[in-house]
Chain A
Amino acid sequence: MTFVVTLIVTLLLIAIPFPSAMALVLPHFGVLFVVWWALMRNYRLSMTLLMLASIPMDVAYGTALGLHALIFALLAYLLTLLGPRVRQVNWLRQSVVVFLVLLLAAAASYWGRTLTGQDPEFLLLVVQALCTALAWAPMRLLFEWLAHLTGEPEVRTS
């Protein structure tokens, strides 16, 4: 239930029509969704759910099907390994770790996009990773609130 609710809220955030000039500084809400699940509730997440969640993200962003599955799998792998330690530090340090992990995801995204014929600028992907990491703290609170609403047991953090 929590998974579906957080996914729908994430899709709503992605679907909000922002001005095109803002696209460069918008956080990647889909990535934050995976970051929250992989860091905070990884014991409830499965690869199948992750792959299924990536499909509407690809459709909503207009990217090739499979691009977000690749990014999500890499993020989930890295954050699940780091999870227990990252959960214990404050939100600022968490944001730094999220940024570093997102840089690796940006590299995967760059590779995947090049493979599909796009010509992305890596620097813009880095800017997007930074904006996404900055949005981690408020998005974490939002997802925690949604988890609380749906009766998901809380995880102890710092």
Chain B
Amino acid sequence: MRPLFSQTSVAAVRLMIAATFSVAVMFIDVRFDALNGVRQVVKTMLWPVEQLAALPSVTVGHIGNWAVGHSRLVERLESLALENERLRTEQLKLQTLRAENSELRRLLSVRERVNERLLQAQIQRLSNDPFVHRATINRGQLAGVVVGQPVLSADGLVGQVVMVYPHASDVLLMTDSTHQLPVQVTRTRVRSIAMGVGRLDQLELRNLPDTVDIVIGDLIETSGLGGRFQPGIPVAYVTEVIRSPGQPFVRVVAEPVAPLSRLSLLMVDVSERGGS
């Protein structure tokens, strides 16, 4: 095998070539998505390694469940039964509302919204890179997941599928600094773009005019613009409204409704067709 850097001048030339090659690859990957095939093949090859790496935590989880006392299990069962009763009552109300909504849509000649088909999935791992907010879930191509489908939790929106492998998928969380989401304030219908800032507990709404009607505690939901997400999915609560004197725009900070750092179970909305 040839030595890596035998002479300083040769070394510098090799470094330059390697750096140019790397930057070119980065550019092609980010701008044209032309290397997704490579990513899929490598991720599929890494699948056994990831399963093996997750084995200790899965085993500890199983042992933890097994060690939970009988009285605590009974207590949990009772609380789940109560929750189930409540949800069944809520569902009865929802059915009435759905029928009513359907009738109103028919009268207004608005197309019926496609029924949601949610696929349950579990987070296998979050990226260990602090600047990348991606999660790998245990459902992939074989389960009907495609790129672009929204991913939800019981509380609200989590993100969207960005890569699909046979047995798994990568979900880009909405807090990733490369993610942008068309949203609206539920109370006033003011539209904006929610941008990830690289923190799991924060989103930002930028470039809103200084006179905008928005207050702390307002709920932000998807606006449906862009066609990727259905309108009305809860996204975040406004936690801070920063108005700088002399500035024409206000900066709004919001906290995601879904607790992204503690998530385990997710739902992939497989009724959406997705898209790159």
Contact = CB atoms under 8 A, between A and B. Distances in A.
Interface in B139-195: 170, 177-178
A126 interface: no
Nearest to B173: A20
A135 interface: no
A63 B129 contact: yes
A74 B131 contact: no
Contacts of A128: 130
A70 interface: yes
Interface stretch (A41-49, A88-96, A139-147, A149-157): A41-49
Contacts of A17: 53-54, 57, 124-126
Contact of B49 (A15, A77, A121): A15
Chain B interface mostly: helix
B260 to A, nearest CB: 8
Interface string A1-23: 00000001001111111111101
B18 interface: yes
A113 B131 CA distance: 9
B134 interface: yes
Contacts of A45: 1, 4
Interface in A75-126: 76-77, 80-81, 112-113, 115-121, 124
B23 A115 contact: yes
Interface string B120-134: 000011111111101
A116 B14 CA distance: 23
B25 A69 contact: yes
Contacts of B80: none
A51 to B, nearest CB: 7
A138 interface: no
- Give the contact-size bracket for chain B: 35 or more
A38 to B, nearest CB: 7
A61 B125 CA distance: 11
Contacts of B29: 64-66, 116
Nearest to B18: A73
A3 B134 CA distance: 28
A67 interface: yes
A27 B132 CA distance: 15
Contact of A81 (B11, B49, B127): B11
B125 A70 contact: no
A69 B72 CA distance: 51
Interface stretch (B39-47, B87-95, B240-248): B39-47
Contacts of B57: 16-17
B265 interface: no
B15 interface: yes
Contacts of B56: 16
Contacts of B131: 113, 118, 120, 124
A59 B41 CA distance: 10
Contacts of A80: 4-5, 11
Contacts of A42: 3-5
Given A21-B261, A120-B198, A47 B128 contact: no
B200 interface: yes
B23 A66 contact: yes
Interface in B69-112: none
A55 B38 contact: yes
A26 B128 CA distance: 8
A61 B46 CA distance: 12
Contacts of A69: 18, 21-22, 25
A106 to B, nearest CB: 12
Nearest to B196: A119
Contacts of B30: 64, 115-117
Interface of B: 1-5, 8, 11-12, 14-15, 18-19, 21-27, 29-30, 35, 38-39, 42-43, 45-46, 49-50, 52-54, 56-57, 124-132, 134, 170, 177-178, 197-198, 200, 260-261
Query: 7 closest Cβ contacts across the A-B interface?
Result: A66-B25, A15-B53, A73-B18, A70-B22, A66-B26, A17-B125, A69-B22
